[in-house]
Each structure stands twice: as structure tokens, then as C-alpha cells.
Structure 1
């Protein structure tokens, strides 16, 4: 009998294997439909169309459709060709040689060359919130011929080969940006690129239209004739558009989390969890450490003691998130520290700290009044802000919420520094050096540059650990350095990590292949195709 069961199990597995192979082979033989329009809906209007000086998601989502990267990545973050067809890394990790694709032209007809690559990296190091840290070890880039770019490094950068996605490191046209003020260049709002789509029109406050690039290097892609990008800050509007066919595709969970279970019953909508491997994020409370109130660590510790993450997970995220007490997302498993914060949920401890800091409760029960800023890019920002307001009311802190669009928020927080504390969410990306270091490295406090060191945190010991991890080739030593970093910032609370959200892409069932790579919809969408409308 036992032998029979074993044989039956083996036969079942064999049959399942045959069925899987058959289904896979069938899916691979489907010929994508050529033509049609795809409408992508975003939760906020981009402030620019090129990811030159910002890492705001709406900008990344549109930038990559025109300006590509040297590489793209599979779901395991293994590099794949894009503008580079192959690459070599020296044994000592101090030289990266990229061999570029032949015959690629910018959409104005000029040839794409290695000069564009060298110029782009140099420019991004000056303007991009993350590139200064990402390419800190790149001393020079030589261009021995038009199709070869050689990066020379002062020290190894073990994360560098994963830094060349379109949304993270866009390759820009030197002949357009050279000898101009790059931040005021018209190309930022009317881009020229090498990508699958050509910018046609931007109707501010409403939509952007891209047309198919007939000279795209990866023919017959792109398959669609037109890409329309709409935007609405209202999740109800986005949900209705997806349900009625006014929009075909939305990413980063474009609808209210409370709606997900209901929408999953609709046969015309497809839910996709792929395409977020490049973009693990952490939502946090960020303190302005230049503010007199929040210079006092006791106040920050008290607020940390007032946050019940288990309740936040239910109330704000409806379970679609992972709570975290570390600034490194749980998705980056090798680096994430699961060590608990020293400031667990404890209202009595919070009240004692505020008493010690001299903030006694008045007759109305209020100790102090503060303003909490957030932007309207994602509805969870508002929900987190409301949760924090409620939590702090229990320890006598009266919170006024102040919302604004993403551009106004960036100007208030990063240029004018006119805020006390804020709710925000930052991508860790594929490595803490790229996604996390920028928020804690004192050298990345850059007034006027969004999404950099928001708190103005400055700790020489943390700087030393982050800079060591930038160049450490020993994997375990690098992990240890990031664990030490997490221990320090957990104690010093320049911010309070809350949760790492689970993102979901929603699409009409007529949409295919929107997320074939690790960056999903933030990739170039060259492979996407749509069934003809009935």
C-alpha cells in the first residue's frame, strides 16, 4: 500500500509537471496583439517627466517610458540588458565596462553613445537625491569608443551593478543638457529619449500622452500605439476608472485598501503582486531635528512609546503591510534587523518622558501642540497621519494635520524646512546603501534637494558605518555594519519606522505583461500589450 501511494504521488507530480510545461509553452507562443491604447492611472501628477532631480514615484513612473537605463533586472535582481548589451566587472571590483547597444538613436535622431552615459552619471551625482551616495566610489568614466563606457572606482561598490535601472539611473541626452542649467532645462517637461515611447502632450492637471516610438531598437516593441497617463489623488476616482474601463492599469495599490477584497471578486480585474522587488519601502514618522521641540530626544522617545504598530497595521493598512521597527525594510532580508525598538508601546513610559522634559498636562489635558505634515501622493499617508494624531492625543499632544500635494510638500520640507515632523515613505530599493543611506548620512543633507536627509540627522559613528558598507566586499561584514547602524538609529530615534506596505498592481484583464521585470510598471512598459476592445 505504501509503495502504491508513493507511485501515485510520483505519477501525480509528473502529470502536474507536464501540465505546467504545457501551459508555460502555450503562454510563450501567444503572439502579442499590436496596437491599441493603454491608460495608466497614477495617484499624483508628476512634477517633471524626467527623474533627474527627484525620486518621487509619479516622476519615475513616467520617466522610464522615454529615458532608459543601461540595465534592467529580473525578479531576483539579476541584471539584464537594456542600453548595455553586456558588461564586465574586474576581479577587484574597481572597474566596470559596459558595452552599449549599436544603432540606438535619441528620438530627435541623434545617435546614442558612451558620451551620453558618462555625462548622465556625472550630472546625476550633482542633481539626484540618491546618486551622490550610489556613485560615490566612481572616480571617472572613460569612453574609449562610442559603444564602450568604462567606470573606474576608488573602492569596490558591491551594490553598483544593480543601480542602472531606468527609473533609478536614467541615461540622458548630453546634446540636450550640456552647457545648460539642468534643473531648468525644457527637456525635463518635454523629454527626448531612447525609450519605447515618444512624448506628445502634457495637459497639466489631467493627463499625459505618449505615442509609440516607430524607431525603437527592440522592434516590434512597443506593442501599443498610445500610452495615456492619467492622475487623480482620489482613490475613489481611481477605483471607478479601473472598474469602468476609463483606466486599464494602476500600480502601488491604486485603490483604497478597504476596497481590495470586494474588487478581487470582479472577473474583469487582475491583481498582480510582481514587479516590486526593486522597490521595498518603509513608511515612517520623520522629525525635524532642527526644531526646538524635537531636538529633545525625550520627546521623540515619548512619541515612539505611543505608537501601537499592531493596531496601525489593522487600522491603516487593513493587513496589507508588514510592521517594522527598523529603517531597513523586511523585504531586504539579509540586512533587515528584527531587533525590537527600545521604545515599545507604553503610554505610561511616554507620559513619564514628557513630564521629565517639562511638558506638563494643562487643565485641558494638553501638554503641547504640534503640526504634522504629509503629502497626498498615497492615501495611506493621510491614514497614518490620522492614526498618529489619535495616538498622540492619548499622551496629551494635540496634533494639527497639514496636507499638501507632493511638490508643495517637497518645497516646504526640503527647501524651506518649515515643518516639525512628517509622515513619509521612502524606497529602500535593492540595497540599503542606495535607498537608506541617503536619509541618515550627514553628507546627504542638501537643502533644496528632495528626498535626501529629511531629519538633518548627524552622527559621525553612523556616517562611518554607512561609508564602510559602501565599499565592503565581505558580505557578512557588510551585514554587520548595517545591523550596527540600525541599532544606533533605533536608540536615537531621528525617525520612527512604522510599516513596509505590500503593493499590488490592478489591471483590466485585457492587459498583458505589464510587469515582466523587478521594477514592474516603473519599467519602460515596452512589453505590455492589450487585447482589442470588444
Structure 2
């Protein structure tokens, strides 16, 4: 059987109203206690807090705290269960899945801001439509255009016209977005989209206010430093790449904690501790950026951090066999551990003059490199065993994963060397291979400028040495890597992708040609793959779509533009004072759903 976080029939689930797992309190203002402070750590720097622009996990944690999408996920339910957030119930789906009618809860307000003359302003469906349009503004160059691309009636035509005229019309009518009244939106699709509900839970589709954008936008139309939303927290302090402070919004509507537990004793204990509490309880979240592994661990052990991610290099110091060592369990430390719905994959830039292209000798070069890399050894040495090797692009825990699939690319350095010999990559006098035209070449491998990145670069240096290819390491700050990657400037990198939503489409789109400049980091444009991807978009989850995904995966292997790597365990360790925390596979920020004791 497949291991799934969310399994269709999705349309049937959406068509009927689902009971809310938490009930909104009419006047829950001031629920959060300012003396309840959560101290948290990012392992890499954030980039900024515009929902339409940010594409890194760390910025997303702040975005999810400040802004709200129409939908979210049940805190405890596994498989992940879609639930309303600002929407007043699940969508009404008609016209065989091509029309979605969504109603908004009344009385939700944006945080008071100078853009509203220092007052609050009510959220309406016009804010969501404005936010969705922003994803298509050519000037903004959002990396999230793909979420609605080719799906909403009239939206692509509006973007195409803007590219011609140089001006994006935010006020023109679009047939695909029909606002029936301030609280009711009807979305008309070009074809059924079985993932639309999950897309409307993804933070790039959160509501932003037009007044805020127009007041604070930069020359590119972005608002990365002045997040103003309707969410439970607002950003009160930001020292770039160093420190962020979130404080609970005093007028936030709040909720009563009423999630349901299944048979899991851990969930039952969480329900016993939190049921009936008014949320959020935590009044302040202090976030520090700590790139170095040992610094994070020391800060936690010195009780300077309440909750942090114990990545692979640190795991042996606290864990044994996937559990806390007895001496740490006795201290009351808590562990929440999952296999992330993640794919860390290796890509080679298909636009690069050395690595890219479809000539046979270039395909042979990429395939030989892929065959020479020992994924199991990387997991053991870099991640201390805290990951599982992947054969398939869709990882465990995501709809469409196939645990029986075996890639045609396996570790075989002898065959890799033979392939390079066959296609003319002969060794020179220095022992390194040259291009078939006799010219020397060097591969540049890029990684984050932290200990993990250094170890990854060393592993890949070993790989390239095994096939006599020169390699230079290129370590950079995480935001710089993302910026260069988006514009196809990196030659090769290990790229981690954590599910935006728990469906295979979210992973197969990573290699779709038109998504170059968005999420297609290897900048691959393979016509046969792209044609099959478009066909898969018309299908619900099931055997027919699975067959297409298999064909797409084989095409990827034939051209060797990328190779699957691994999915890491996410080990979240917390102090004894943290109450009811459980790592969610999709939600990035969970602090509005758990509690913490006040420090003495």
C-alpha cells in the first residue's frame, strides 16, 4: 500500500461541509499571554516576508504566522486533513470540478497599520483576488505563478497582455474570479483541478492588503520587510539574517483548541493538555538564526532555546535508535520525529554550456556523475543516518509515492568511468578528464555556507575524484543560493524541496520546463516530460496518473538532468516547558497550536 498524508476523493470531501476541528471564539482578543515566550532557532537565514515572493522554509514560518490563507491543515490528523482557516467551510464544488464557490468568515481584520490610517480593516474576498493576481504580475516575477498557471479562466491572458503593455491591470474583470459579494468568491477553472483546496492552503495564496502593498512596495513591487496580515502574530523586530520577534496580535479572533485524537497515545496526551484552551497561548516568539550546528545545541542545553531542529550532524549527541538517549529523556527533553515529505535531489543545470544540453556526450556526462555518487554514504557521513534514500521523485508520505519503484540510475563508479571513456572524456597529463574536444573543464558544486554544506561539498569532491573530474566548491549564504538558482546561474547543487501540499504534483512540477525561474532549479526543458506533466494535470490521484508519473520519471532518468537523493528525518527537540507540540508534515509554524509554561 502507498503511504499517504492526504488521499482523495478530494472533490467529494470538499463538496460536503466538514466539521471544524476547532471553533472560533467570537471575542478571543488578548488570549495570548505576553509572558509565555517561545525561543526558536532557524538553521538558515530568511529572505523576506512577501507571500508572493518568499520561497524558503524559514521565511515561510513567519509568513504563516502573520498572514492567512483560506484553508489550513488539522494539527493532529494524519494523513493531513484540509480544514477551513478564514473560509467559512469547505468549498462547494460544481460543474464536474471546474467551479469552486468559497465563503469567507465575516469580521476578520488586518492588523492596524499606517496603510489603514492606523486602524484595522476588514478582510474581504477582494483581498484574496488581489493577492492571487499579484502572482501573475510580470513586474513582480513571483516564483509561485505555477500555482494558478493555465488554471484560472482569463488570468493567463491578463498576464500576457501585461507583458506586452508593461502594465498589469489589477482592476480589470477576470471571468475566473467572480466575486458574488464581499464574502463570497466563485472560482472558474479551465479544467478540473483536484489540488485546488491544498493550493488555497499554501502560504503564497495568503491575503495581503492592496493598501499595504502600495504603501511599502519597492521598485520591483515587493514588500519583504513590512508584513501586515490577518494572522495571529505580527512582526515587531527584524534584524536580517539574525533575529526576528513575533508578538501575538491583541485583536486576533482566536480559537478554542478542539482537535481530535485517534489511537495514538501521544495525540491523546496532547488533547488532554490542550483541549478547551483559547489559542494562541504563546504571546511572543523570539527567533534566532544560528547557522552552526554546535551553537544551536549548546544554546538548547543552556536553556536559551525552547524548540529547535536537531539535524543529522547533531543527532548522535542526543539520539540513539531514533529516540532520545536516557540521560536526556530524564531531563524532560521532548522529541517529535517524522520523515519529512521531502525530496533532496541533485540537479545539473541544463542551460550550462558544459553540463547542459541533449547531445549524447552531455547526457553521458550527467549520467556518469549521477552513477558515481554514493547516496547511502552521504546519508551515513553527512546526515549520520538521519535520512532515507529515494528512488522516486515523490517521497514517502505524499500522494503518488511508489515504494516499489527502482531507479535505473544506481551507484556504479566503474560503469560511470566506462561511460566517460566511451564518449571521449579522456584523461590528460594531470590525471583529470578533458572535454571531448580536448579542453579542460571544472564542475562548480554550490552549497550552503554551514557545516552541512561543507560536508556535502567534500562528499561531492570525492565523487568527482572517483571519475577524474575537477570540482570546485562554492559555498554561499542560503539566500544568495536561492537568488542565483532562480536565474539558472548555478551549475549543480543538492536541492531540498519540502512539500507545499501533500500531493505528487507538488514534486513533479519541480522538473516542468515552464517552471524554470520558479521551482525548476535545474532549468530543464524536456518536451516529452512537459507534455506528460500537462496530461497529469487533468487527472485525479489514481492508477492512470501514477502511470504517467512513472513515464515522466523514466524520461528524467534517460536525460539525467537530476538524480533523486534522500528524504531527511526531522527531529524537533523541545524543553520540558513546551506543552503539546507535534511536528506537522505540512504546516511550517505550529506555535499557534501548542502552549508553553512561563519561565521562572
TM-score, normalised via structure 1 length: 0.86
Aligned to 2:94: 90
Q: Does 1:136 align with 2:208?
A: no
User: Residues 99 and 187 of structure 2 are in contact (CA less than 8 Å); yes or no, is this contact kept in structure 1?
Assistant: yes
1:161, CA displacement in angstroms? 1.4
Q: Does 1:233 align with 2:291?
A: yes
Q: How does 1:165-204 map to 2 (within 5 A)?
A: 165=201, 167-177=203-213, 184=220, 187-204=223-240
Once the two structures are superposed, residues 301-337 of structure 1 have per-residue CA deviations (whole angstroms, 9 ceiling, x without a partner) of 1111112222222222222211013222133263336
Q: Does 1:426 align with 2:477?
A: no
1:193, CA displacement in angstroms? 0.7
Q: Does 1:513 align with 2:580?
A: yes
Aligned to 1:374: 447
Q: Secondary structure at the match of 1:110?
A: strand
Runs of 5+ consecutive residues of structure 2 not aligned to the other structure: 1-30, 113-119, 154-175, 256-277, 357-361, 434-440
Aligned to 2:510: 439
User: Residues 236 and 255 of structure 1 are in contact (CA less than 8 Å); yes or no, is this contact kept in structure 2?
Assistant: no
Aligned to 1:80: 83
Q: Does 1:145 align with 2:181?
A: yes
Take 2:402 and 2:142, find their aligned partners in 1: how far apart are those partners? 25
Q: Secondary structure at the match of 1:504?
A: strand
Q: 1:396 to 1:474 in 2, by over 3 A?
A: closer
User: Residues 370 and 400 of structure 1 are in contact (CA less than 8 Å); yes or no, is this contact kept in structure 2?
Assistant: yes
Q: Secondary structure at the match of 2:353?
A: coil
Aligned to 1:212: 248
Aligned to 1:309: 375
User: Residues 453 and 475 of structure 2 are in contact (CA less than 8 Å); yes or no, is this contact kept in structure 1?
Assistant: no
Aligned to 1:46: 46
Aligned to 2:115: none
Aligned to 1:340: 406
Aligned to 1:60: 60
Take 1:110 and 1:100, find their aligned partners in 2: how far apart are those partners? 15
Q: 1:113 to 1:33 in 2, by over 3 A?
A: closer
Take 2:495 and 2:286, find their aligned partners in 1: how far apart are those partners? 28
Aligned to 1:12: none
Take 2:503 and 2:148, find their aligned partners in 1: how far apart are those partners? 10
Take 2:247 and 2:482, find their aligned partners in 1: how far apart are those partners? 30
Aligned to 2:5: none
User: Residues 133 and 437 of structure 1 are in contact (CA less than 8 Å); yes or no, is this contact kept in structure 2?
Assistant: no
Which of 489, 493, 508 is residue 556 of structure 2 equivalent to? 489
Aligned to 1:114: 125
1:292, CA displacement in angstroms? 2.3
Q: 1:336 to 1:130 in 2, by over 3 A?
A: farther
Q: Does 1:407 align with 2:479?
A: yes
1:226, CA displacement in angstroms? 1.3
Take 1:506 and 1:146, find their aligned partners in 2: how far apart are those partners? 43
Q: Does 1:222 align with 2:280?
A: yes
Take 2:502 and 2:234, find their aligned partners in 1: how far apart are those partners? 31
1:215, CA displacement in angstroms? 0.6
Once the two structures are superposed, residues 252-307 of structure 1 have per-residue CA deviations (whole angstroms, 9 ceiling, x without a partner) of 74872343427644123211025x7xx61111221011222213011111111112
Q: 1:33 to 1:211 in 2, by over 3 A?
A: closer
Q: Secondary structure at the match of 1:210?
A: strand
1:158, CA displacement in angstroms? 1.0
Q: Secondary structure at the match of 1:465?
A: helix
User: Residues 72 and 82 of structure 2 are in contact (CA less than 8 Å); yes or no, is this contact kept in structure 1?
Assistant: yes
Q: Does 1:105 align with 2:171?
A: no
Q: 1:194 to 1:54 in 2, by over 3 A?
A: same
Take 1:253 and 1:312, find their aligned partners in 2: how far apart are those partners? 14
1:180, CA displacement in angstroms? 8.0
Aligned to 1:20: none
Q: Secondary structure at the match of 1:97?
A: strand
In terms of mean alpha carbon deviation, does 305-314 or 330-339 score higher?
330-339
Take 2:54 and 2:335, find their aligned partners in 1: how far apart are those partners? 29
Take 2:448 and 2:541, find their aligned partners in 1: how far apart are those partners? 39
1:485, CA displacement in angstroms? 0.8
Take 1:345 and 1:254, find their aligned partners in 2: how far apart are those partners? 22
Take 1:201 and 1:221, find their aligned partners in 2: how far apart are those partners? 22
Take 2:476 and 2:419, find their aligned partners in 1: how far apart are those partners? 32
Once the two structures are superposed, residues 3-62 of structure 1 have per-residue CA deviations (whole angstroms, 9 ceiling, x without a partner) of xxxxxxxxxxxxxxxxxxxxxxxxxxxxx9944111111012211023321321111111
User: Residues 68 and 229 of structure 2 are in contact (CA less than 8 Å); yes or no, is this contact kept in structure 1?
Assistant: yes
Take 1:161 and 1:315, find their aligned partners in 2: how far apart are those partners? 40
Q: 1:397 to 1:331 in 2, by over 3 A?
A: farther
Q: Does 1:500 align with 2:567?
A: yes
Take 1:151 and 1:382, find their aligned partners in 2: how far apart are those partners? 47
Q: Secondary structure at the match of 2:96?
A: coil
1:164, CA displacement in angstroms? 2.5
Q: 1:216 to 1:517 in 2, by over 3 A?
A: farther
Q: 1:55 to 1:78 in 2, by over 3 A?
A: same
1:401, CA displacement in angstroms? 1.0
User: Residues 428 and 436 of structure 1 are in contact (CA less than 8 Å); yes or no, is this contact kept in structure 2?
Assistant: yes
Q: Secondary structure at the match of 1:225?
A: strand
Q: Secondary structure at the match of 1:410?
A: helix
Runs of 5+ consecutive residues of structure 1 not aligned to the other structure: 1-31
Once the two structures are superposed, residues 361-395 of structure 1 have per-residue CA deviations (whole angstroms, 9 ceiling, x without a partner) of 2343222532101124x754443332121122111
Q: Does 1:245 align with 2:256?
A: no
Q: Secondary structure at the match of 1:121?
A: helix
Aligned to 2:465: 393
Take 2:414 and 2:300, find their aligned partners in 1: how far apart are those partners? 46
User: Residues 280 and 430 of structure 1 are in contact (CA less than 8 Å); yes or no, is this contact kept in structure 2?
Assistant: no
Q: Secondary structure at the match of 1:458?
A: coil
Aligned to 1:17: none
Once the two structures are superposed, residues 128-167 of structure 1 have per-residue CA deviations (whole angstroms, 9 ceiling, x without a partner) of 4244245531221221111112111110111221123353
User: Residues 72 and 81 of structure 1 are in contact (CA less than 8 Å); yes or no, is this contact kept in structure 2?
Assistant: yes
Take 2:549 and 2:559, find their aligned partners in 1: how far apart are those partners? 15
1:479, CA displacement in angstroms? 1.5
Once the two structures are superposed, residues 55-82 of structure 1 have per-residue CA deviations (whole angstroms, 9 ceiling, x without a partner) of 2111111111101111111332221121
Question: Aligned pair count?
Answer: 493
